Amino acid sequence: MSNLTISIDDELIKQARIRVAQQGTSLSAKVRELLQHYVNGTDEATKRRREESTAKLMLAIESATLATQAPPSATQESAKVTLRDALYADGFRAKDRNANGASSARAQQEPQ
């Protein structure tokens, strides 16, 4: 570890030593911790601002998403026809029965 010499007001040093003693740590450890937070940008105020900004951003994204999604219209709902519904509406089963019936009738009429 490197040593660092800094100039700080005597009264500030005195108050800081009292406070770190109450916390059960040293002034060097506290300065190291504060510098680490400063470098990492992880102090509580920064965390709180990031969380608030993230929440606002997520709310804005959600609002924009909801605003751009149009509710389905009645024509869109009626246009959603399944393949099964389309086949049965066309009467494919009846056509199939008629076609099979006609070929069976022809087969019976033909001489063997």
- In this prediction, residue 45 carries a pLDDT of 78
* Enclosing domain of residue 41: 9-68
pLDDT at 92: 66
pLDDT at 58 over 70: yes
Length of the chain: 112
Residue 44 belongs to a domain: yes
Q: Is residue 45 part of a domain?
A: yes
Whether residues 62 and 36 share a domain: the answer is yes
* DSSP secondary structure string for all residues of 12-75: HHHHHHHHHHHHTS-HHHHHHHHHHHHHHT--HHHHHHHHHHHHHHHHHHHHHHHHH-PPPPHH
pTM of this prediction?
0.38
- Do 56 and 99 have their domain in common? no
Q: How confident is the model at residue 75 (pLDDT cuts 50, 70, 90)?
A: low
Q: How many domains does the chain have?
A: 2
